[in-house]
């Protein structure tokens, strides 16, 4: 039972009873990969070209850092933070896992922030992410880490999907996403929202408000920031599925990776997260190295979020003893 041991971090009179309607992020042990040879790899040259250009642009932009105004670099950091939250607090913890509830204004903000991150629309991201949890490390996992570091990092975006990803993904219950007008609106106007939020807005602000060169304004807050957010997110799929301890469940691949946690606003506690995908904090340590949890708690304080699901300390300890690798004892 996926609801055992969940506590509400912010109990309010109407939500003392925790509902757990969404269970399509729980690992499905019954799935078996099809026997026989794997389908041939089919390259998507358009993506290979665009991703190569983006990363070359990112390297070039990196060299421009010394020529930029200090306030422009601060703006790059702010754009990083906003777009990262659009993924962590938005597409991930809210829309993929339903680990808390967000009011309309917060959902609108997160949808804009998500377009700034340009990682596919929220609907597609959450659909891929639910199959990732449900069929982790199998053919039906879009970024199956058993296919190696490169594949789980970026390679999966450069080739056609394994047919099982699509077959299993089609069976997921996505009714909650379809019913969310903000998600559907973002999906409908996705391309326009990406042009505006990922490229135009980050470029326009430094150029218009403090006279940064158009060149720096484009390459630093748009190109470099986008490339960094992408790689920080991808490291959760690659590094955090390969390197680190497994204090909660040693039978699964995902790991606790401090380096990834720092770069991805608290998303590197990945052994915990795959063990308890419904925990809004994706960790047992609250705000420690977890800017996303801080942000969600702040939103709760402002009355913009509620119903944060949290696993009880007792359940976590029992699970560590039952299935962990014992590393929690040594810290």
Of 86 and 212, nearer to ligand ST9 (C-beta) is 86
* Residue position matching structure tokens 């703006």: 75
Work out whether 178 is an interface residue with ligand ST9 (CB under 6 A).
no
Work out whether 233 is an interface residue with ligand ST9 (CB under 6 A).
yes
**Contacting residue, 3, 39, 43, 44, with ligand ST9 by CB under 6 A:** 44
Closest CA to 158 of 167, 147, 168: 147
Work out whether 120 is an interface residue with ligand ST9 (CB under 6 A).
yes
* CA separation for the pair 300, 295 (Å, rounded): 9
Burial class from Cβ neighbours inside 10 Å (0-12, 13-18, 19+) for residue 232 reads buried
Closest CA to 265 of 59, 90, 27: 90
**Contacting residue, 72, 144, 216, 237, with ligand ST9 by CB under 6 A:** 237
**Contacting residue, 101, 107, 127, 133, with ligand ST9 by CB under 6 A:** 127
**Contacting residue, 76, 110, 264, 300, with ligand ST9 by CB under 6 A:** 264
Closest CA to 107 of 165, 197, 8, 185: 185
**Contacting residue, 169, 206, 254, 324, with ligand ST9 by CB under 6 A:** 169
231 close to 237: Cβ distance less than 8 angstroms: no
Name the binder of 88 from ligand ST9, Zn ion, none, CB < 5-8 A by kind: ligand ST9
**Contacting residue, 99, 115, 119, 216, with ligand ST9 by CB under 6 A:** 119
Work out whether 160 is an interface residue with ligand ST9 (CB under 6 A).
yes
At how many degrees (to 10) do helices 45-64 and 225-237 cross? 120
Parallel, antiparallel, or unpaired: how do β-strands 6-8 and 309-311 relate? antiparallel
140 close to 164: Cβ distance less than 8 angstroms: yes
Work out whether 116 is an interface residue with ligand ST9 (CB under 6 A).
no
Instruction: Compute CA distances 153 → 54, 144, 145, 181, whole Å.
Output: 15, 10, 8, 31
Of 155 and 254, nearer to Zn ion (C-beta) is 254
Point out the residue whose Cβ comes nearest to ligand ST9.
169
Count of residues near ligand ST9 by CB under 6 A = 32
Work out whether 232 is an interface residue with ligand ST9 (CB under 6 A).
yes
Distance of closest approach, residue 248 Cβ to Zn ion, in angstroms: 13
Closest CA to 187 of 291, 99, 114, 98: 114
Residue 83 region by backbone torsions, left for phi larger than 0, else alpha for psi between -120 and 50, else beta:
alpha
Distance of closest approach, residue 227 Cβ to ligand ST9, in angstroms: 11
Distance of closest approach, residue 150 Cβ to Zn ion, in angstroms: 16
Q: Which stretch binds ligand ST9 (CB under 6 A): 26-34, 214-222, 227-235, 297-305?
A: 227-235
Distance of closest approach, residue 125 Cβ to Zn ion, in angstroms: 11
* CA separation for the pair 84, 109 (Å, rounded): 12
Return residues touching ligand ST9 (CB under 6 A): 44, 47, 84, 87-88, 92, 118-120, 124, 127-129, 131, 142, 157, 160-161, 165-166, 169-170, 229-230, 232-234, 236-237, 264-265, 267
């Amino acid at each position: 039972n996926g609801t055992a041991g969940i506590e509400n971090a912010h109990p309010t009179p109407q939500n003392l009873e925790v509902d757990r309607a969404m269970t399509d992020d729980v690992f499905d042990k019954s799935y078996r990969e099809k026997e026989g040879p794997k389908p041939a790899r089919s390259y998507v040259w358009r993506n290979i070209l665009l991703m190569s250009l983006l990363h070359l642009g990112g390297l070039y932009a990196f060299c421009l850092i010394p020529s930029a105004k200090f306030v422009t670099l601060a703006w790059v950091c702010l754009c990083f933070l906003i777009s990262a939250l659009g993924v962590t607090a938005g597409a991930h913890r809210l829309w993929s896992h339903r680990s808390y509830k967000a009011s309309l204004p917060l959902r609108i903000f997160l949808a804009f922030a998500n377009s700034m991150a340009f990682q596919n629309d929220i609907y597609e991201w959450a659909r891929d992410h639910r199959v990732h949890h449900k069929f982790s490390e199998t053919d039906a996992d879009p970024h199956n880490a058993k296919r190696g570091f490169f594949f789980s990092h970026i390679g999966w975006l450069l080739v056609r999907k394994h047919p099982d990803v699509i077959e299993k993904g089609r069976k997921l219950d996505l009714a909650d996403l379809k019913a969310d007008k903000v998600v559907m609106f973002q999906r409908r106007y996705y391309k326009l929202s990406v042009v505006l939020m990922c490229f135009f807005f980050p470029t326009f602000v430094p150029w218009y408000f403090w006279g940064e060169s158009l060149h720096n304004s484009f390459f630093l807050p748009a190109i470099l920031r986008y490339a960094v957010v992408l790689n920080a997110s991808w490291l959760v799929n690659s590094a955090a599925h390969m390197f680190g301890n497994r204090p909660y469940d040693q039978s699964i691949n995902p790991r606790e990776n401090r380096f990834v946690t720092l770069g991805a606003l608290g998303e590197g506690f990945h052994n915990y997260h795959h063990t308890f995908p419904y925990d809004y904090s994706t960790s047992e340590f609250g705000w420690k190295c977890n800017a996303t949890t801080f942000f969600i708690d702040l939103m709760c304080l402002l009355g913009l979020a509620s119903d944060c699901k949290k696993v009880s300390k007792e359940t976590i300890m029992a699970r560590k003893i039952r299935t962990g690798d014992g590393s929690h004892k040594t810290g």
